[in-house]
Amino acid sequence: MAAFTWDGHDDADWNFSIIATNLIKFCGAAFATKVIVGSFQEEMHIRTAAGTDTDACGAPHLHNIMYVDANNCDIDGAGSEDVANILTTECIRVQFTHGSAVNTENAIFYAYDGTTTTTPPVGVTFHALEQSDAAWTNAEGSASAVSISNQGSSDTHNFYVAISATPESVGEKTSFSVRMELDYY
């Protein structure tokens, strides 16, 4: 049976599970702070259950890769650097498993409104990339998705993505989800 799991790295292993009840939280300078309109997140955390404000990361926290410009990022507040320098362990890992060895192709990653895959998230500017890409993609809606590399025959496929978001207006953003799609054979 095919399945997706989403994880973050804690500098030791892929110990941060991102599941239906543990969500990514984009933050200002700390867990309890908001991202300023027009600025990108300064930290990313895993929060327990939608609507609660409990940090599930502990220390160290989920790595933060903040959009700076089309070709640059800021990793964990260390200053601007080329996106080509992003390490696998600094990314979000999306793992696709299958009960038998399969190839993957036509994979895409993007943000949407949580209901209609072609509709961009509401009130959010979202950028993403696959680790080793040379530039960010404004990945809002399936038509603007990041293209993810095809992978050869295996029962486990790991994809590594960096994500960054900024609010376009004040207030909680509830029409904002991310998604990965792929074909396998």
Contact predicate 180/91, CB 8 Å: no
Kindly indicate the confidence band of residue 159, based on its pLDDT and cuts at 50, 70 and 90.
very high
Mean pLDDT, rounded, for 136-159: 98
Task: Pull the structure tokens for residue 157.
Answer: 């496929």
DSSP per residue over 42-85, as a string? SEEEEEESTT---B---SSPPP-EEEEETTEEEETTS-EEEGGG
Considering only residues 90 and 51, tell me which one the structure prediction assigns the higher pLDDT: 90
Residue 40 pLDDT > 70, yes or no?
yes
Residue 57 pLDDT > 80, yes or no?
no
Considering only residues 58 and 30, tell me which one the structure prediction assigns the higher pLDDT: 30
Mean pLDDT, rounded, for 102-112: 98
Residue 50 pLDDT > 90, yes or no?
no
Residues 3-15: pLDDT tens digits?
A: 999 999 988 899 8
What's the one-letter identity of residue 170? V
With pLDDT > 70 as the criterion, what percentage of the chain qualifies? 97
How do the domains of the chain map onto residue ranges? Answer: 3-184
Residue 69 pLDDT > 70, yes or no?
yes
* Cα distances (Å, whole numbers) of residue 8 to 44, 47, 90, 105, 165: 10, 13, 8, 23, 17
